[in-house]
Chains A and B, each alone.
Chain A
Amino acid sequence: MSISPPSDKVWWKEPIEKTELIWISIVFVWGVFMTFMMPYWHVVGDQNLPNETYRVTPEQFMAKAQGMVDQFTVGEHGPQKTPIVHPPAGSDVYLVARLWSWWPVLELEKGQSYRVHLSSLDWQHGFSLQPANINIQVVPDYEYVVNLTPDESGEYSLICNEYCGIGHHLMIGKLLVVE
Chain B
Amino acid sequence: MNTNFRVCPETGFHVHKPAELLMKANAVAAVVFLLVGGTFGLLVGLTRWPAVHLLPADQFYLVLTAHGLNVLIFWIIFFEIALLYFCSAVLLKCRLATPKLGWVAFALMLIGALLNNYIVMQGNSSVMMTSYTPMGADPLFYLSLILFAVGALIGTFIFFGTLAIAKAENTYEGSVPLVTFGATVAAIIAVFTIVSGAIILIPTFLWSVGLVAHIDPLMYRMIWWAFGHSSQQINVSAHISIWYFIAAVVFGAKPLSEKVSRTAFLMYILFLQLASVHHLLVDPGLSSNYKMFNTSYAMYLAVMASMVHGLTVPGAIEAAQRARGFNKGLFEWLTKAPWGNPVFSGMFISLVGFGFLGGITGVVMGVEQINILIHNTVYVPGHFHATVVIGTTLAFMALTYWLVPVLFRRDLVMKGLAKWQPYIFGLGMTGVSLFLMGAGTLGVPRRHWDIGFAGTGMTHDFPAAAYTMMALNGMSVVLAVVGGAAFCIIIVASLLFGRKLGEEKSSPALAAEMVTDDEYKTLHASGGITVPGTLCLTFIFFASFAAYYFINWKYLSQTWGIS
Asked if chains A and B are in direct contact (CB within 8 A), the reply is yes
CB distance from A164 to the nearest CB of B (A): 7
CB distance from B2 to the nearest CB of A (A): 20
Given known A30-B542, A169-B450, contact A123–B135 (CB-CB < 8 A): yes
CB distance from B444 to the nearest CB of A (A): 9
Considering only CB atoms and an 8 Å cut-off, how many residues of chain B contact the other chain?
109
Q: Contact between B177 and A5 (Cβ–Cβ < 8 Å)?
A: yes
A47 to B445, CA, bound (A): 21
Q: Contact between B561 and A169 (Cβ–Cβ < 8 Å)?
A: no
Query: Is A76 part of the contact surface with B, judged by Cβ < 8 Å?
Result: no
The A-contacting residues of B in range 511-563, CB under 8 angstroms, are: 514, 517, 528-532, 534-535, 538, 542, 545-546, 549, 553, 556-557, 559-563
Partner of B458, one of A18, A122, A160, A173: A173
The B-contacting residues of A in range 2-56, CB under 8 angstroms, are: 2-9, 11-12, 14-20, 22-24, 26-28, 30-32, 34-35, 37-39, 41-42, 45-51, 53
Query: Is A71 part of the contact surface with B, judged by Cβ < 8 Å?
Result: no
Contacts of A22 in B (CB 8 A): 529, 535
Residue of A nearest to B558 (CB): A151
* Interface range, A side: 35 or more
Query: Is B300 part of the contact surface with A, judged by Cβ < 8 Å?
Result: yes
CB distance from B111 to the nearest CB of A (A): 27
Contacts of A27 in B (CB 8 A): 303-304, 307-308, 542
Contacts of A5 in B (CB 8 A): 172-177
Query: Is A142 part of the contact surface with B, judged by Cβ < 8 Å?
Result: yes
Given known A137-B284, A159-B445, contact A2–B259 (CB-CB < 8 A): no
29 A-B pairs (CB sep. < 8 Å): A2-B179, A6-B178, A9-B173, A17-B256, A19-B535, A23-B311, A27-B307, A30-B546, A34-B367, A38-B367, A47-B369, A48-B563, A53-B284, A78-B457, A126-B445, A128-B445, A133-B559, A134-B562, A135-B372, A135-B376, A139-B221, A139-B283, A141-B216, A142-B218, A146-B563, A147-B561, A159-B453, A161-B377, A166-B57
Given contacts A1-B248, A134-B559, 19 further A-B contacts (CB under 8 A): A3-B179, A5-B172, A16-B260, A20-B257, A27-B303, A27-B308, A32-B300, A41-B553, A45-B556, A47-B372, A48-B368, A50-B563, A78-B457, A124-B134, A126-B445, A135-B374, A142-B284, A159-B445, A161-B448
List residues of B whose CB falls within 8 A of some A CB: 57-58, 61, 91, 126, 128, 132, 134-135, 172-179, 216-218, 221, 244-245, 247-249, 252-260, 280-288, 292, 295-296, 299-301, 303-304, 307-308, 311-312, 315-316, 363, 367-369, 372-377, 441-443, 445-451, 453, 455-460, 462-463, 514, 517, 528-532, 534-535, 538, 542, 545-546, 549, 553, 556-557, 559-563
The 3 closest A-B pairs by CB, nearest first: A31-B300, A149-B561, A79-B457
